[in-house]
Structure 1
Amino acid sequence: MEVLRGSVRTYTWGSRTHLAELLGEEVPSPHPQAELWLGAHRDEPSRLNGHGTDGGTGGTDGVRTLTDVLAADPLGTLGPARRERWSGRLPYLLKVLAAEEPLSLQAHPSAEQAAAGYAREEAAGVPRTAAERNYPDPLPKPEILCALTEFHALAGFRPADGTVRLLRALDVRALDHHTELLAAQPDADGLRALFTTWITLPQRAVDELVPALLEGCVAHVRERGDFTAEARTLLDLGERYPGDAGVLAALLLNRVSLAPGQCLYQPAGSPHSYLSGCGVELMANSDNVLRCGLTPKHVDVPELLRVLDFAPGEPPLLQGDGTGAVTRYAPSEYFSLARCAFDDADDDAPPDPVALGVEGPRIAIAVAGSVRLRSARGQEHVVARGTAAWVPACDGPVTVEPVERPALAFVAADGLCP
């Protein structure tokens, strides 16, 4: 086990408080801090600096990146089966995400779509850093987010009959024709047709429809209608992204409010946008993003339509497995997330260590209190609030127990069976 040091990404939509408070830095931060990255991403791999015991770094043997460590000893860090399955890569990237403003509306490809798209763009000679590149790597990018604060998002296509009710409640005359088309075909094909119509509208038509929609939202909020939360979100998006067809597309998506501890899954093809809040995000280690709108960046409409899953449904909230202190979410072979929550103790009796039930390469981070990790090899390491640890496969099974309560920690691993 070793101390793992991540890096903070300063995107404009980030928060000046959430990550600064977690990391014990000056609040507010000088710049918006959007994401804390923990993993072996090629653009910014995390750093290791020596073995730690009880939270210290011990005798450091020089700062190394996690990418260097994986390359030097793929068998010890990943284990024999995982070295073969993941081709020597760490298959996931763990983040703490802090959104003060909405992110772009986007979707991610399946494994088959990612592999085919990457091969196609490589054969065409599209530079991997080009703005129009959709597939900089051949991997899918499913992801989950576990809320640390109240968290708001758009996720997946709302059932069509619900969207018809929303459109009728907003009572925007310019959208009446679109509303009735969806009412006549309230299924995935109807959603595909309406989404395609809106995302391909000429700009002059978007410039007429979006202001009309926002007027309807203002009236609905004043009347305190049934869709006030959705109307407020559309007003916010319309103010931030004037003239963006993504504001219209957002009409079709579920609006989700997560309480702390709830977990949202984004499978391949699911359109989504994180609106505000702080959470622990875990994803496959990929950069493949197809944008739908709410962004000045490239939107490849034909490729987007190939990737999107228009099947409507309720937001994909995960229940998780386990009882007691540890709940495990494992929706993908690329990652699993163990949420370790220890409340204030009722007595002075020390708690029994809890088996995490995950093996292979693991990354742990504490976001409240502190926890002690113990490995099968007899190592132990205290992970305090705002710090992280790397646990290679060669350390074997690991248990977790609280040191300072209340404690909340997360442990990332792949989703393969132990």
Structure 2
Amino acid sequence: MDRLHTTVRDYAWGSVTAIPELQGRPADGTPQAELWMGAHPGSPSRVDRGAGPVPLDLVIAADPVGELGAASVERFGPTLPFLAKVLAAATPLSIQAHPTREQARAGYADEEARGIPLDAPHRNYKDDNHKPELICALSEFEGLCGFRPPAEAADLMASLGVPGLDPLIELLRSKPEDEALAGALAGALGLTDAAGRETVEAVARAVTAAAPSDPTGALAGYAFAAAECPGDPGLVAALLLNHVRLQPGEALYLGAGLPHAYLHGLGVEIMANSDNVLRCGFTPKHVDVPELTKVVTFRGGRPEVLRPEPGADGERLYPVPIDEFRLSRYDLAERPATLPGDAPQILLCTAGTVELATDEQTLTLRPGESAFLPADGAATVLTGPGATVFRSTVTL
């Protein structure tokens, strides 16, 4: 097993204090948005096996079967198929959606054929993989997830009394669900001329005025977004989405085609190893509305809040419909827990102190520290009454 030396990404939306507080160190005044744990080439974790820190992606590339196991390499290829993160949002992330694997392959091939550089600001597809995600709250966590039923979205917009929203309201009430949501999203993102900007500003004033009387109600999250992203037409697009408030330990699975945004809070995130993001608001980055409408699934409904299901030896699993990643949690008591060594694993301590032990090695993790366990067949025993450990691995 290897202690991971991790990189903190300093995106502007990150919290100044949340990750430092988790790790028990002073804040330095800069936003600290994401702590990456894995082998993604953008910010690979590093391991030290006696010759100094080496990026984990290079360690795996040198011996994929030895690090990942033959079964994982055969099924997912010679790279770690997931990326784990601690995510700390102080302001809203962009509203976004991710393609299916088939859409990603087609989009990537098309942009490659057209010679669009990978680092071009208007590039949509950075690789040919899908990017499902799971976010599990460590603090109270707010986000937007999936479309509201069209009638509900229309009622919410109508409650604001903003005349500029009338065409969207009429569309939501008169068209079939997929047509209504697609048209309303395109219409919201098209509010960029002078009249459109006036509508966005009026919406911001309306949600801001309504929120204080009901700080946990339907408009509270939108008022927060309005304050943090003034003038962004994504605010109107956000009214089409469900506002979700997670309590610690609750999670959301975000599959392909599902529009979503994180607003505020600290959580553990795990995702397939991909950078494919199509944005649709709360961002100065490229928004490709025609491509976005190809990727998004225009279906209304309520998001499913996941709670962990009990498993063997104290494991509590967050079930997802894919195999590239598997997230579970151990809340350790007096009895140790034993993990099998048949798949690559990343362990993250979020509370207390935990000792990891094999027949040949021991390693201690404190909050915010993590370790990589190669698929070498060695069972690992977790000991640490009162400690909480998140386990990221694959399903084989």
Normalising to structure 1: TM-score of the pair? Answer: 0.88
| Matched residue type, 1:125 | G
User: 1:276 is matched with which residue?
Assistant: 264
1:84 partnered with 2:80: no
Measured after TM superposition, the shift of residue 397 of structure 1 is: 4.3
Partners of 2:156 and 2:176 in 1: CA distance: 13
AA matched with 1:114: A
Residue 352 (structure 2) pairs with residue 373 (structure 1): no
Asked if 1:384 corresponds to 2:366, the answer is: yes
In structure 2, C-alpha distance between the alignment counterparts of 1:256 and 1:15, rounded to whole Å:
20
User: Structure 2: any 5+ residue segments left out of the alignment?
Assistant: none
Q: Which residue of structure 2 lines up, in the alignment, with residue 21 of structure 1?
A: 21
Match among 253, 262, 267 for residue 241 of structure 2: 253
1:354-399 Cα distance to aligned partner (Å, 9 max, x none):
3446841111110111223344x65443322221111001134444
- Paired with 2:110 and 2:196, the residues of 1 have a C-alpha distance of 32
- Residue 253 of structure 1: how far off its partner (Å): 0.4
Which consecutive residues of structure 1, in runs of 5 or more, have no partner in the other structure?
Answer: 51-59
Q: Distance in 1 between matches of 2:173 and 2:164?
A: 16
1-side partners of 2:201 and 2:53: how far apart?
A: 53
- Bigger mean CA deviation after superposition, 62-71 or 240-249: 240-249
> Does residue 39 in structure 1 map to residue 38 in structure 2?
yes
Aligned positions, number: 394
Deviation at 1:85, TM superposition (A): 2.4
For the Cα contact (< 8 Å) 2:341–2:374, is it kept in 1? no
Partner-residue secondary structure (3-state), 1:363: strand
Q: Aligned-pair distance for 1:293? A: 1.1
CA distance, structure 1, for counterparts of residue 106 and residue 25 of structure 2: 44
Say whether residues 1:190 and 2:173 are aligned partners. no
Q: Counterparts of 1:191 and 1:203 in 2: how far apart (Å)?
A: 21
Deviation at 1:202, TM superposition (A): 4.3
Is the contact between residue 206 and residue 243 of structure 1 (CA under 8 Å) also seen in structure 2? no
| Distance in 1 (alpha carbons) for counterparts of 2:53 and 2:164 | 60
Give, in whole Å, the separation in 1 of the partners of 2:70 and 2:251: 31
Deviations, residues 271-315 of structure 1 (Å, cap 9, x unaligned): 111101100010111111101011111111111110111111112
Shift of 1:134: 0.8
Once residues 71 and 241 of structure 1 are traced to their aligned partners in structure 2, the CA distance between those partners, rounded to angstroms, is 41
Aligned-partner SS, 2:386: strand
Deviations 1:135-190 (A, max 9, x none): 11111111011100000001111122321221232222332332132122362321
Select 1:361's aligned residue among 335, 338, 344. Answer: 344
Counterpart secondary structure, 1:236:
helix
Say whether the 8 Å CA contact 1:99–1:277 is kept in structure 2.
Answer: yes
The Cα shift of 1:192 comes to 1.3
Choose the corresponding residue for 1:310, options 273, 298, 306: 298
User: Contact 2:225–2:263 (CA<8 Å) still a contact in 1?
Assistant: no
After the TM superposition, which residues 212-223 of structure 1 pair with which residues of structure 2 at under 5 Å, given as runs? 212-221=202-211
Matching residue within 302, 307, 318 for 1:329:
318
- Alpha-carbon separation, structure 2, partners of 1:400 and 1:372: 6
Listed as ranges, the matches of 1:15-414 within 5 Å are: 15-26=15-26, 28-50=27-49, 60-185=50-175, 187-221=177-211, 224=213, 229-323=217-311, 325-331=314-320, 332-342=322-332, 350-351=334-335, 353-356=336-339, 359-375=342-358, 379-401=361-383, 403=384, 405-414=385-394
Where 2:327 maps in the other structure, the secondary structure is strand
Q: CA deviation at 1:239?
A: 3.3
Tell me how far apart the structure 2 counterparts of residues 30 and 237 of structure 1 sit (CA, whole Å).
22
Letter in 2 for 1:326: E
Residue range with higher mean Cα deviation, 237-246 or 265-274: 237-246
> What is the rounded CA distance, in whole Å, between the counterparts of 2:94 and 2:341 in structure 1?
33
C-alpha contact 1:13 1:100 (8 A) present in aligned 2: yes
Letter matched to residue 382 of structure 1: T
RMSD value over aligned CA atoms? 2.1
User: C-alpha deviations, 1:13-67, integer Å up to 9, x for none?
Assistant: 11111111222321x32311111001111121101013xxxxxxxxx33221111
- 1:338, 1:356 within 8 Å by CA — same for their partners in 2? no
